[in-house]
Amino acid sequence: MADNVTYKILRSHLLEGQLKPGSEIAIRIDQTITQDATGTTAMLLFESMGLERVRTELSVSYVDHNMAMFGPENHNDHLYLQSIARKVGVYHSRPGNGICHQVHLERFARPGATQLGSDSHTPTTGGIGSLSIGAGGLDVAVAMGGGPFYLTAPKVIGIKLLGNLPDWVAAKDVILQVLSILTTSGNVGSVAEYFGPGVSTLTVPQRATITNMGAELGVTTSLFPSDEQTAAFLASQGRSEVFTPLAADPDASYDRVIEIDLSRLESLAAAPSSPDNIRKVAELKDVAVQQVQIGSCTNSSYRDLMMVASILKGKTVHPGVELGISPGSRQVVQILSENGALSDLIAAGVRLLECGCGPCIGQGQSPGEGKVSVRTFNRNFKGRSGTKDDQIYLVSPETAAAAALTGHLSDPRRLPELLGISYPRISELQSMPINDNLIDKPLPPDQAAAAPVIRSSSIVTPPSAEKPSQKLDGTILLRCGDKITTDHIMPAGSFLKYRSNVPEYARYVFHCFTESGKPSFAERALANQKAGRAGVIIAGESYGQGSSREHAALCPMYLGVRLVIAKTMERIHRANLVNFAITPATFVNPSDYDRMEENDHLEVPNFHKILAESDRFTVINVTRHFKFECELPLSRRDREILLAGGKLNYTKMCI
Ligand code: MIC
Ligand code: SF4
C-alpha cells in the first residue's frame, strides 16, 4: 500500500479501527508533553486515575507559561509539577529553560514518533517528522497512563513546495501564505503534509515554524518528512541515534494538493485580528508601529534570533517603538551570549525578557490602547495581548526587525535601500551547546513511592462532571457569534494564575462579554444552575478555535453548562466538551441560530436516550414556540463518555 508520511506513522501506531478518512481510530502515543498552564490539571487528573507511573516511552512536563508570578499561585504550581513529575516518571523542564515546543524539538522529539501534548502548538515537532497532536489535559493524562488516543482518521492535504525562499522572505511567510489559502476554518479532520523539492531547502527550525502555526489552520497536525536536514539538526543536538529517514511512498496520494513556489513568495503579515487576515507587508507601509515583540514557540530558533541581531547590529531601535524579545529556548540565548549577538541586541535597545511564552499569552507587554504591535507570534485574536482593542500584526523576524528600526511596517526587502543593511546569511550550526541541567530526571521506581508531592492550598482538585439527566431543561446563557476562540471563553493573561483552581477561574468564563454594571456570565450561570436548569451556549462558525485549554470546557461545566449548539466546532475544543460531559451539537439548519436569544428556555425531551443512540434530535424553544433540529455525529465511545458523566468517570470504569 502506498502511504504518505502521515499514514505511515498512523499505520505503525494503530491500535483500533480502520485507516479510512473519517472513521474513528485509536493510536499508541510514544511521547507526551504538558506545560504548566494545562499541566497542573493534567497531572491532578492523572493522579485521580490512581496510576503510580507513566507508561509512555517519554513524558515531559514543562514550565513556560505562568512565569509572571504575581502572588503565590504560579510558584505553588511549579513546585507541585516538579514534585509530581519526579514521582510518576516524568522529566521536568524547569522555568527558564524555554518554551515546551522549542525545547522538545531540540532535546526530545524524534522522527516517526507519535506525540500528544496539552497545548495546541504541539504540532511544532512535525518539523522533525513526529506526528504530534494537541489535545486537552485529560486526553494527555490518559495517554500518560498508556491509554490510546482516539481521533478521526484524517484526510491529508499535500502541500507541495517548489523552489527556494528568496532573501528576506522567511518560513513564517510560507505558513502565512498557507493560511491565506486554507484559512482558519474548514480544515477540521485534516493533516497538512509538506512534500516536493522545496522541502529539502528548509531546515528543521524553519519547518517547525510552519508546523507550529499550522495549528491556526485548525488541522489535526502538520508534518514534514525526515531527511538529510533532519539528520543534520539531530546531529547538531548530539542526538543522531534517533534519526530515521521518513518519506512518502513515490506513488502516495493526497486528498487535496496545494502548490507553493517558495521563490515567488514575499513578506506577509496576518493583520488584526485573525491569523488568516493575510496582507502583503509592502501594502501596509503606512502603518506606524509602536511596539515589536519577537520570540514565542513560532520564531525563536538560532537563525531567527541571529537574523534579528544581525539586522539590528550597530543600529538603534526607532524612538517611537518598544522592542521586546522573549526567547523560546535557553540554548539559543546561550549561543547568542557566546557569539556576541546578545550584546548587539542590547546595544540596539532591545528589552530582553526571560525564556518563556510571556507576551504571546498576555503575560505582560500589553500594547497601549489602539496602538500597533508587530509580533512574530502565531495568534492575534482580539484582546489576547491583554489590551481590549489591540492591533496585532503577525510577521516574520525579518519583518519585525525592519519595523523596529523604521517605526513602520516595512518590507524587509527594502532594508538595503532604506538603511543600507545587506541580507545577513545565517548558516545553521553543526553543533549546539548542550546543557540539560534545568531538566530534572524522574526518580527510579524504588525511590519514587516515598517521594513527597508539594500540594499548596491554591491547587484545588478539579470538579468532576455529572451524568446527563433524562430530559434537558435549559436556558440559553449566551448567544455568541462566529470564530469564538478559547481565549474568549476562558481568558489567559493575568487570569492564568487561577488555572489550578477551577471554582476561582470559572468566575471569568466569557469575561470579555461581561458589560460593566451587569451580572457576569458566571453569576448568571450559577443562578440558572441553582434554579435547576442546564446552561446552553449557542454559537456560530468555528466555535472553540485556538488553544487546547480544557478549562474552556471544565469551567463552563462547573457553572452548569450541559449543551453547546454551534454552526461548526473545532476539533480539540469539541473533544474537551465531550471529556467534561458537555454535549457538542451542531445546527442542521444554521439559520436557526438567528431565531433565538439569550435567556430563551429550551427543552430536549429524552436527552439521555438521544445521547445513547441518535445522531439527530429536536430542541423545543419553549419561549418562542418553535422547534429546531440538531446534529450529534458522535462515535460510540463519545456517547459512552457523555453517558458516564465525562472521560474521567469513563476511564475509571475501564481501568
Ligand atoms: C496558547 O497559545 O493559547 C496556549 C496558552 O499555549 C494554549 C494552552 C493554554 O491555554 O494553556 C494552547 O495553545 O493550547
Ligand atoms: Fe506559549 Fe504562545 Fe506558544 Fe502558546 S503559542 S505555547 S502561549 S509561545
Classify 268-412 by CATH class.
alpha beta
| pLDDT value of position 1 | 80
Eight-class DSSP state of 256 = E
Options 549, 551, 573, 574, the catalytic residue: 549
Q: How far apart are CA 590 and CA 368, in angstroms?
A: 38
**546 conformational bin, left if phi > 0, alpha if psi -120 to 50, beta if neither:** left
What would you report as the CA-atom Rg of the chain, rounded to the nearest whole angstrom? 24
Name the closest-CA residue to atom 1, ligand 2: 357
Sheet holding 372-375, edge to edge: 278-280, 268-270, 391-394, 372-375, 291-295, 322-326, 351-352
Name the closest-CA residue to atom 1, ligand 1: 547
- Give the helix ranges, DSSP H, for 349-422: 397-406, 415-419
What is the distance, to the nearest Å, from the Cα of residue 396 to the centroid of all Cα atoms in its chain?
Answer: 19
Distance 640 CA to ligand 2 centre (A): 33
Name the closest-CA residue to atom 7, ligand 1: 547
472-654 maps to which CATH number? Answer: 3.20.19.10
Give pLDDT tens digits for 25-44. Answer: 999 999 999 999 999 999 99
**Most ligand 2 atoms within 8 A of CB, residue of 36, 38, 65 to mutate:** 65
Q: How far apart are CA 392 and CA 597, in angstroms?
A: 32
The answer to whether residue 533 is catalytic is no
C-alpha triplet 86, 91, 93: angle, nearest 5°: 110
The residue-averaged pLDDT of 339-357 equals: 98
Does the beta carbon of 548 sit less than 6 angstroms from any atom of ligand 1? yes
What's the grid cell of residue 379?
A: 495568534
The residue-averaged pLDDT of 495-504 equals: 95
The answer to whether residue 240 is catalytic is no
Give pLDDT tens digits for 414-447. Answer: 999 999 999 999 999 999 999 999 999 999 999 9
Distance 347 CA to ligand 1 centre (A): 33
Name the closest-CA residue to atom 3, ligand 1: 547
* Local structure of 17: helix, strand or coil: coil
Which residues have a Cβ under 8 Å from the Cβ of 278 and sit 6 or more positions away?
176, 177, 179, 180, 268, 269, 270, 271
Distance 255 CA to ligand 2 centre (A): 30
Task: Name the closest ligand to CA 34.
Answer: 1
Q: How far apart are CA 144 and CA 651, in angstroms?
A: 13
**Most ligand 1 atoms within 8 A of CB, residue of 61, 101, 119, 376 to mutate:** 119
Phi then psi for residue 83, to 5 deg, are: -75, -40
**Most ligand 1 atoms within 8 A of CB, residue of 33, 34, 36, 38 to mutate:** 38
Q: How far apart are CA 494 and CA 361, in angstroms?
A: 9
The answer to whether residue 64 is catalytic is yes
Phi then psi for residue 425, to 5 deg, are: -95, 115
Options 3, 36, 119, 139, the catalytic residue: 119
Options 379, 408, 479, 574, the catalytic residue: 379
Residue keyed to cell 483552581 = 501
Distance 216 CA to ligand 1 centre (A): 12
Q: How far apart are CA 555 and CA 499, in angstroms?
A: 10
Closest to 204 in 3D by CA, of 185, 187, 227, 186: 227
Q: Which atom of ligand 1 is nearest to the CA of 548?
A: 14
Name the closest-CA residue to atom 3, ligand 2: 297
Give pLDDT tens digits for 507-562. Answer: 999 999 999 899 999 999 999 999 999 999 999 999 999 999 999 999 999 999 99
C-alpha triplet 518, 522, 528: angle, nearest 5°: 95
Distance 549 CA to ligand 1 centre (A): 6
Distance 134 CA to ligand 1 centre (A): 10
Give pLDDT tens digits for 301-332. Answer: 999 999 999 999 999 999 999 999 999 999 99
Q: How far apart are CA 148 and CA 156, in angstroms?
A: 22
Q: How far apart are CA 600 and CA 263, in angstroms?
A: 55
The residue-averaged pLDDT of 286-314 equals: 98
Maximum pairwise Cα distance, the chain: 72
Band (344; pLDDT cuts 50, 70, 90): very high
Residue keyed to cell 522545496 = 198
Q: How far apart are CA 97 and CA 437, in angstroms?
A: 9
End-to-end CA distance of the chain: 35
Give pLDDT tens digits for 148-174. Answer: 999 999 999 999 999 999 999 999 999
Does the beta carbon of 300 sit less than 6 angstroms from any atom of ligand 1? no
Does the beta carbon of 492 sit less than 6 angstroms from any atom of ligand 1? yes
pLDDT at 263 over 80: yes
Task: Name the closest ligand to CA 296.
Answer: 2
Q: Could you tell me where in the chain the CATH 3.30.499.10 domains are found?
A: 5-264, 268-412
Could you tell me what percent of the chain has a pLDDT over 70?
100
Residue keyed to cell 455525529 = 633
Q: What DSSP letter does each residue of 447-476 carry, written as one string?
A: HHTT------TT--PPPPP-PPPSSEEEEE
| pLDDT value of position 306 | 98
* HEC-encoded secondary structure of 565-610: EECCECHHHHHHHHHCCCEEEEECCHHHHHHCCCCCEEEECCHHHH
Distance 565 CA to ligand 2 centre (A): 28
Given the DSSP bridges, would you call strands 561-566 and 583-587 parallel, antiparallel or unpaired?
Answer: parallel
Residue type, 634: L
| pLDDT value of position 655 | 59
Distance 361 CA to ligand 2 centre (A): 6
| pLDDT value of position 257 | 98
Does the beta carbon of 547 sit less than 6 angstroms from any atom of ligand 1? yes
What's the grid cell of residue 173?
A: 511567510
Q: Does domain 5-264 have CATH number 3.30.499.10?
A: yes
- Give the helix ranges, DSSP H, for 15-136: 36-48, 73-88, 100-107
Is-contact 472 564, C-beta < 8 A?
no
Peptide bond into 120 cis (omega under 30): no
Closest to 29 in 3D by CA, of 53, 58, 49: 58
Phi then psi for residue 156, to 5 deg, are: -115, 120
Eight-class DSSP state of 226 = B
| pLDDT value of position 491 | 95
Task: Name the closest ligand to CA 37.
Answer: 1
Give pLDDT tens digits for 87-134. Answer: 999 999 999 999 999 999 999 999 999 999 999 999 999 999 999 999
> Residue 430 to residues 174, 228, 235: CA-CA distances in angstroms?
25, 13, 7
Does the beta carbon of 38 sit less than 6 angstroms from any atom of ligand 1? yes
Q: Which atom of ligand 2 is nearest to the CA of 119?
A: 6
Residue type, 424: P
225-261 burial: b if 16+ Cβ within 10 Å, else e = bbbebbbbbbebbebeeebeebebeeebebeeeeebe
Is-contact 17 23, C-beta < 8 A?
yes
- Ligand 2 binding residues, C-beta < 6 A: 65, 99, 119, 121, 296-297, 357, 360-361, 377-378
Mean pLDDT, the chain, integer: 97
Please name the helix (run of DSSP H) or strand (run of DSSP E) that holds residue 193, with its range, or none: strand 190-195
The answer to whether residue 549 is catalytic is yes
| pLDDT value of position 653 | 77
Is-contact 113 134, C-beta < 8 A?
no
Q: What DSSP letter does each residue of 295-310 carry, written as one string?
A: ETTTS-SHHHHHHHHH
654: number of Cβ within 10 Å: 11
Task: Name the closest ligand to CA 298.
Answer: 2
Given the DSSP bridges, would you call strands 601-604 and 190-195 parallel, antiparallel or unpaired?
Answer: unpaired
Instruction: Indicate the angle between helix axes 647-654 and 636-644, nearest 10 degrees.
Output: 100
Length of the chain: 655
**Most ligand 2 atoms within 8 A of CB, residue of 377, 394, 486 to mutate:** 377
Options 64, 344, 390, 487, the catalytic residue: 64
Q: Could you tell me where in the chain the CATH 3.20.19.10 domains are found?
A: 472-654
- Give the helix ranges, DSSP H, for 34-92: 36-48, 73-88
Look at the alpha carbons of 491, 496, 500, 506 in this order and tell me if their dihedral is positive or negative.
Answer: negative
Does the beta carbon of 310 sit less than 6 angstroms from any atom of ligand 1? no
